[in-house]
Amino acid sequence: MPGKADGNFAIGTSFTLRQFVEAGAERLALTVVVGGKSLDHTVLEPMMYRPGLALTGFFENFAWRRLQVIGKAEAAYLMSLAPEERIARIKALFDHRCYCIIFACGMKIADGIRELAEKSNATLLATPLLTREFVHLGSFVIESLRAPKMKFYGTTVEVAGVGVMMEGKAGMGKSETALGLIKHGNALVADDLTCLRRDLASGKLMASASDATRNYMEIRGIGIIHVPSVFGVSAVRGEKQLDLVITFKSMEEVNGELDRVGDSILVRSILGVDVPQIVIPVSAGRDLVNLVETACQQFKLRMAGHDPVGNLARHLKERAARKEGE
């Protein structure tokens, strides 16, 4: 059925340390120093925390559920202590249920600290990034991991700046329409299966392709094509805000229900976000590429405050009033 999710759906998603490391493999340049089974530990509070006061021995309101980050300031303080005291301060973090410490700035981790982490079944991670850079980028990775997500059977294209997802039964021509749109200078986001996530900051829906099918399309009679190789790198987008859903239906399905004026406004609720929806009937000879492009341009005008139905109604009333006055 059109628009049916594949079941991979979660709201308020939790994640493990392993998922955090994998998601930030390139962006955060994380290395697992001590991990093993502890990488399967769930991140209890998805935030970064610099345990400066805790290292001095003050543990009131210690945010142990968060990911602990040791930066240059914390490292300088630890290095000012005697080796035995330094180890004792780190041990105190583990004694207060700390389960993950991330060492930034490429600093060397003493063997004694590694042994402590192993005994405590905790994880030690390291990154060459500066502390402020790591915390900044890590926050984006965390937000992406915990954002509500789902996979949706639909083809998504950026058309004139509008992120539009086309849905409908198999054989309705979604991929062929997307191909025509790409040839008109638009860009593919995802073919057939679209991954959606709700951005926690803006509340908007973001669409992308799965890792397995990104940049690829299946066209009946042609087969699999690699879009950037055929049309250039400008013909694809990694991620795009979803602005509009276009549902393809057969003429029989919409018989008697079609809004010929365009006055009614439909919405699809996806992950708690209402997305404007347009239903386009499909039949032999209809130019779907032209219709989708026009629908997107009309959508942009509506978002800018243009109301063609209202404008036409006022025009007809004024025209009728002038005739009555003649």
User: Could you tell me which of 261, 215, 275 has the C-alpha nearest to residue 239?
Assistant: 215
Q: Which residues make beta-bridge pairs with 149?
A: 10, 197
| pTM: predicted TM-score of the whole model, two decimal places | 0.68
- pLDDT of 243 above 50: yes
Q: Is the pLDDT of residue 240 over 60?
A: yes
Q: Is the pLDDT of residue 88 over 70?
A: yes
In order of 15, 33, 169, 306, the CA distances from 10 in angstroms are 11, 31, 25, 37
Looking at the predicted structure, is the pLDDT value of residue 76 above 60?
yes
Count of beta carbons in the 10 Å neighbourhood of residue 224: 10
Q: What is the mean pLDDT of residues 226-237?
A: 96
Higher pLDDT, 37 or 268: 268
Predicted confidence at residue 12, as pLDDT, reads 52
Rg (CA), the chain: 27
- Does position 3 have pLDDT exceeding 60, yes or no? no
| Average pLDDT, integer, range 106-126 | 92
Longest dimension (CA), the chain: 102
Report, as an integer, the average pLDDT of 135-158: 92
Helix axes 83-95, 72-79, angle to 10 degrees: 130
Distance between CA atoms of residues 232 and 230, nearest Å: 6
pLDDT for the residue numbered 84: 93
Give pLDDT, residue 326: 64
Q: Read off the pLDDT band of 37 (50, 70, 90).
A: confident
The residue assigned the tokens 């009937």 is 281
Q: What are the tens digits of pLDDT across the range 170-226?
A: 889 999 999 999 999 999 999 999 999 998 778 899 999 998 999 999 998 899 999
164 pLDDT more than 50: yes
- Mean pLDDT, the chain, whole residue set: 89
Distance of alpha carbon 287 from alpha carbon 173, whole angstroms: 11
- Using CA atoms, how far apart are residues 98 and 175, in angstroms rounded to an integer? 50
Q: Are strands 205-208 and 239-241 parallel, antiparallel or unpaired?
A: antiparallel
Question: Does the structure show a pLDDT above 80 at 63?
Answer: yes
d(CA 301, CA 2): 27
- Is pLDDT at 148 greater than 90 in this prediction? no
Q: Which two tokens stand for residue 68?
A: 């602990």
Count of CB atoms situated within 10 Å of the CB of 248: 24
The answer to whether residue 1 scores a pLDDT higher than 80 is no
Between CA 41 and CA 31 the distance in angstroms is 17
Pair of tokens at residue 308: 């063609």
Residue 4 has pLDDT above 50, yes or no: no
Query: In the predicted model, is pLDDT for residue 262 greater than 90?
Result: no
Question: What pLDDT does residue 10 have?
Answer: 43
Considering the chain, what percentage of its residues have pLDDT values greater than 70?
91
Give the pLDDT confidence score for residue 252 in this predicted structure: 82
CB atoms within 10 A of CB 220: 9
- The per-residue pLDDT for 99 is 96
Confidence category of residue 320, pLDDT binned at 50, 70, 90: confident
- Residue 274 reports pLDDT greater than 80: yes
Average pLDDT of the segment spanning 318-322 = 75
The structural domains of the chain, ordered by start, are: 17-146 (3.40.1390.20), 149-311 (3.40.50.300)
Three-class SS of the chain: CCCCECCCCECCCCCEHHHHHHHCCCCCCCEEEECHHHHHCECCCCCEECCHHHHCCCCCCCCCCCEEEECHHHHHHHHCCCHHHHHHHHHHHHHCCCCEEEECCCCCCCHHHHHHHHHCCCEEEECCCCHHHHHHHHHHHHHHHHCCEEEEECEEEEECCEEEEEECCCCCCHHHHHHHHHHCCCEEEECCEEEEEECCCCCCEEEECCCCCCCEEEECCCEEEEHHHHHCHHHECCEEECCEEEEEEEHHHHCCCCCCCCCCCEEEEECCEEEEEEEEEECCCCCHHHHHHHHHHHHHHHHCCCCHHHHHHHHHHHHHHHHHHC
